[in-house]
Structure 1
């Protein structure tokens, strides 16, 4: 079975991929090429195939749904998949999109963090994306990076779950939320914003009511997730 049974893969695409296979296998990471119609894999370097314990034909015969459900964490996929879609739609020549992914390989119990970077690899005669290329590098060996990736994932989850509450805040309330997260008192905030402490206290109560928060930790969660601090 040929990996090029995919009807979306043209002769020019095949030639471009085949001409670069030797170089792809020298890159210190896994190289994956997707076609942009159904987002199926059309090439993966040897390092990745060994990790998945599959042949290139096996990987390329999978639908995108099968590929991602078999190996990728669906929770963090909710974060980066829309970003990839927006990136491809933007179709900028020099841009590269980087993001964190968790993968679980056959015979392993734990998810492994990877830092992946994607770029458009080939465009059609109308300058629309045909192929994307991704380089994926494991980061679990760099403990501080894995911890950071886990924190970013949790912050993104919090953002999605609490966006409706946050959107209720006025511009002034968001400013005061930031100062609250920094541990400033009502008097300090009032002096900085040139308003009365009583007005600040009112804003603080309204912020807690709108966000349904009871602790300083929850206030800090909102401030971090929505890039206020």
Structure 2
């Protein structure tokens, strides 16, 4: 097993050395991590400048700080677009926006698993963080996803104030059902439906059907 570890270490060192040679000519920010045991191995010069980290400090950056500063797949401002490739060699693509930026400004983040070890499991995680203006070239569907993320983050606190029944009524409102049809589905009276509808609009501060649809899209009610 030691020989395998030495071999893996040599491959990793070789990849990092090659990346360093072309670092300044490659766009975006590049990060290399060992998966098991988890270890930060490499942060390109743009990343060091952006996050103000020396190579030594980056190497010993705690996982919680890494997620807060560089990348956390579970961050509410981050959306998984899709995962591609075979198991053990997956590449996942994310969109991340900053709550302080325009919704059209975002970063594309690629997370790739590479270099299977002696046990057949990937040994490295490679991250590439690319800034982009989504309005310029990303398909309209992807731009809508980002807008939904923005709306969800900005309105989640209001949405969480709804009761379970409020949310059931909201879901059927978004789907275009009348008060009578909602009452039939939920086995409640029309008056009760209208009371819930009024409460939903008050809590969410909905003033138009378009805003209603925005909630439906952002919170997967459609």
1:100 and 1:167, CA in 2 relative to 1: closer, same or farther beyond 3 A?
Answer: farther
CA offsets, 1:140-159, max 9 Å, x none? Answer: 596797x8646524414644
SS in 2 for 1:215: coil
What are the within-5 Å matches in structure 2 for residues 154-173 of structure 1? Answer: 154-156=151-153, 158-159=155-156, 162=159, 165=162, 167-168=164-165, 173=169
Distance 1:60 1:214, change over 3 A: closer
Alignment match, 1:61: 60
For residues 90 and 163 of structure 2, the distance between their equivalents in structure 1, rounded to whole angstroms, comes to 31
Task: Spell out, residue by residue over 1:130-182, the C-alpha distance to the aligned partner (whole angstroms, 9 max, x if none).
Answer: 3211111012596797x8646524414644763573754687x46522235xx
Size of the aligned set, in residue pairs, is 198
1:178·1:223 contact (CA, 8 Å) conserved in 2?
yes
Report the equivalent of 2:123. 130
For the pair 1:99 / 2:99, whether they are aligned, the reply is no
**Structure 1 contact 41–64 (Cα < 8 Å) conserved:** no
- Contact preservation (8 Å) 2:78, 2:96: no
Stretches of structure 1 that go unaligned for 5 or more consecutive residues are: 1-9, 104-108
Cα deviation digits, residues 109-128 of structure 1 (max 9, x gap) = 98984221112224444444
Contact in 2 for aligned 1:77/1:101 (Cα 8 Å): no
| Alpha-carbon separation, structure 1, partners of 2:191 and 2:198 | 11
Post-superposition shift, 1:207?
4.4
Unaligned runs of 5+ in 2: none
Instruction: Quote how far apart the aligned CAs of 1:53 are.
Output: 4.5
The match for 1:215 is 206
Verify the 8 A CA contact 1:169 1:210 in the aligned structure 2.
yes
* Cα root mean square deviation, aligned: 4.8
1:116 is paired with a residue whose SS is: strand
| Alignment-derived partner of residue 11 in structure 1 | 6
Q: Distance in 2 between matches of 1:14 and 1:82?
A: 33
TM-score, normalised via structure 2 length: 0.59
Q: 1:201 to 1:169 in 2, by over 3 A?
A: same
2:196 matched residue in structure 1: 206
Cα 1:42–1:200 change in 2 (3 A) is farther
In structure 2, the partner of 1:224 is 217
